[in-house]
Structure 1
């Protein structure tokens, strides 16, 4: 059986409205213009610290406020999950993969505590034996080390990574693992330009794609 690792934001869950809501609460504290959903999506992918950095540049917030903003964002996100939702077809796909004996994990650039919180809130935590966050190691994706560590924790077997973005594609390529690219997430470049083994826009296709790779 295979080891299958998933990205989180934009792959398993549509979290951009949640991230937008929490980020805008920080901007509201400072009486600054809120982020649009499109802006928020453009800032997602490299972790909370980078999101804060990009938001600060966009709204003229001094760099010396970065640590305070990041800590507040993470604290508020821990208690805000109502605006995130699981993408259609994810639950039955995970049930099928788990039922077939595959071992599943999550490797995300979201900090570990809020990642686990949202997985639990949305009923997804039960599927995953291993979850690594953007603060679990000293580096984060697209460095391959977090993905490699997630696979290592899952034991032996073929390795498949499932993600939605250019960051995920680069991570998989650098790790030398098979990559399935979900096209309905938060990718910032044309999908055809990214290295991948297959594209899919419907999670109902995922179990079949996995079996084809295995």
Structure 2
């Protein structure tokens, strides 16, 4: 008699900013510290929050443009390098969304393997996860500077999926970029509605939505 085939463990891959952690206050603080380094005026929290999600190069371009500077100008590299350097150390203001820890514990106990796919650079992502006590919860972490491309290119999501063994996958995110990434990767997508999206929920492609993390383990079970 043939032995039964071993079942590959299911996978849940998360975005980070606006999905697991509210990082907008930290990003706002760091952004204004860097702008001050270049004698540029501070920007309000809502403005900086609207720049989050497409990686630090885009964030810096938006900061410069909002400050009346050429977003592709000579100071771009210096501003970018200084922002990333500060971002690795200035972790205050990163906070977990309600219910995240309990939901992650439930997923782990149910046999899911967990990973993160974020456009935030790897080192700041690592620092933020250590700050909120989640770093050891995830088996894989890919940052926006880890590969040659970043979301919404599906390569990042595929890479994390392979690292986690390639089992049935659910991608969890909060934004337009995350929804587009899931479409490009042909992956089931659960939209966390309390993050940083600007588009109405009905206008974003998704397979499930949730506003309370208590609902996520049940959603994940549906996509095994």
Q: Secondary structure at the match of 1:32?
A: coil
Q: Give the TM-score normalised by structure 2.
A: 0.93
> Take 1:126 and 1:101, find their aligned partners in 2: how far apart are those partners?
16
> Take 1:31 and 1:135, find their aligned partners in 2: how far apart are those partners?
28
> Take 2:38 and 2:161, find their aligned partners in 1: how far apart are those partners?
42
Structure 1 residue 39 displacement after superposition? 0.6
Structure 1 residue 55 displacement after superposition? 0.7
Cα offsets for 1:28-51 (capped at 9, x unmatched): 223322121111111011001100
Q: Paired residue for 1:178? A: 188
Structure 1 residue 190 displacement after superposition? 1.1
Q: Paired residue for 2:56? A: 48
Which structure has greater helix proportion?
Answer: 1
Q: Give the TM-score normalised by structure 1.
A: 0.98
Structure 1, unmatched stretches of 5+, are none
Aligned length: 214
Displaced runs of 4+ in structure 1, greater than 3 A? Answer: none
Structure 2, unmatched stretches of 5+, are 1-8
Q: Do the aligned residues in 1 keep the contact of 2:14 with 2:171 (CA within 8 Å)?
A: yes
Q: Paired residue for 1:206? A: 216
Q: Paired residue for 1:126? A: 136
> Take 1:90 and 1:35, find their aligned partners in 2: how far apart are those partners?
30
Over the aligned positions, Cα root-mean-square deviation in angstroms equals 0.9
Q: Paired residue for 1:140? A: 150
